[in-house]
Structure 1
Amino acid sequence: MISYLIIAAALVGLDQWVKAWIIGHVALGQTVGFIPGVVSLTHIKNTGAAFSILEGKQWFFYIITVVSLIIVGMLWRDAGKSRWYRLGLTLIVAGTLGNVIDRLRFQEVTDMFQLDFMNFAIFNVADACLTVGVLIVLVYLLFFDGKGAHR
């Protein structure tokens, strides 16, 4: 359990550090190269979710945060010894906390990673944690839950 808390804390710290670095070094709306042809850094503020869905509805995101953390807590209880399942839940917690910190502090989230090879929402470390965490949990629940795959 402690190792998962350390992972979550480290990811939240990384998320907050990257956001602070972007705020301090890249002007709002500015794009700078990062990995040519793959990822650029574009400093934007988002009061909604991906693609600015539900923009300005902070109350909704606070409710979703509380509900998400309760659900993850319930799922954690049932996770048994599955390291992958617990890692997925840990990533979800880290992503949830990383973005809620911004929402509580600034009433918006700082995003920065822009995929240059496709049209996709600009995102941050917390968003990446959430996405990967949800994918891991879904794969586990769909293909491995109850099949003895607890390593």
Structure 2
Amino acid sequence: MVKTTMSLYESIPLIPNIFHLTYIENPGAAFGLLANQRVFFIVITTIILLAVIYFYKQLKGPHLLLRIALGMVVGGALGNLVDRVRMGTVTDFFDFRIWPVFNIADSAIVLGMIYISYQLLFRGEEF
């Protein structure tokens, strides 16, 4: 919806100076790192997706929250991968003014990885 209703770099303040919708096309990773390395990101994302899916299949027991977190990482990575394959960039739009602009897929990846990291660091013996 952002792409069809906003111009590139347009910013709409929802809470002025705190939260804006800002339309950008990101050719790199988080914070624009490694810009224009499309093939690199496609290969790395594919490898990470395969590793996460493998880990998911190795889980024993229900681990509902961990499975949801893994699903968030896979879903977010797939969303960004589709953008990158189709257009060469990822569309970002959440702008909290004190942080680089990001998207829903980025949020899913980060939240999922926070939970996975917690589980691996503090509860790893339960896998």
Please say whether Structure 1 and Structure 2 have the same fold, judged by a TM-score greater than 0.5: yes
1:84 touches 1:140 (CA, 8 Å); kept in 2?
no
Deviation, 1:37, is 4.8
Identify unmatched segments of 5+ residues in structure 1: 1-20
Match of 2:52 among 50, 62, 72: 72
On the 8 A contact 1:79/1:85 being kept in 2, the answer is no
Give the corresponding residue for 1:31. 11
Normalising by structure 2, we get a TM-score of 0.92
Q: Is 2:94 aligned against 1:113?
A: yes
Aligned mates of 2:37, 2:117 — CA distance in 1: 27
How far is 1:31 from its partner? 0.6
Q: Any gaps of 5 or more consecutive residues in structure 2?
A: none
Selected match of 1:55 from 5, 21, 35: 35
**Deviation at 1:79?**
2.3
How far apart in 1 are the matches of 2:83 and 2:2? Answer: 13
Q: Which amino acid aligns with 1:107?
A: G
Tell me which amino acid in the other structure corresponds to 1:100. Answer: L
Query: Whole-Å Cα distance in 1 between the matches of residues 107 and 49 of structure 2?
Result: 17
Runs of 4+ in 1 over 3 A off after TM superposition: 35-38
Q: State the Cα distance separating 1:63 from its structure 2 match.
A: 0.8
Q: What SS class does the counterpart of residue 14 from structure 2 fall into?
A: strand
Give the CA RMSD over aligned residues. Answer: 1.5
1:2-151 residue pairs with structure 2 within 5 A? Answer: 21-80=1-60, 81-116=62-97, 118=98, 120-147=99-126
Per the alignment, in what secondary structure is the counterpart of residue 146 of structure 1? helix
Output the amino acid matched with 2:8. Answer: L
How many residues are matched?
A: 126
TM-score computed with the length of structure 1 as normaliser: 0.78
Aligned-residue identity in percent: 32
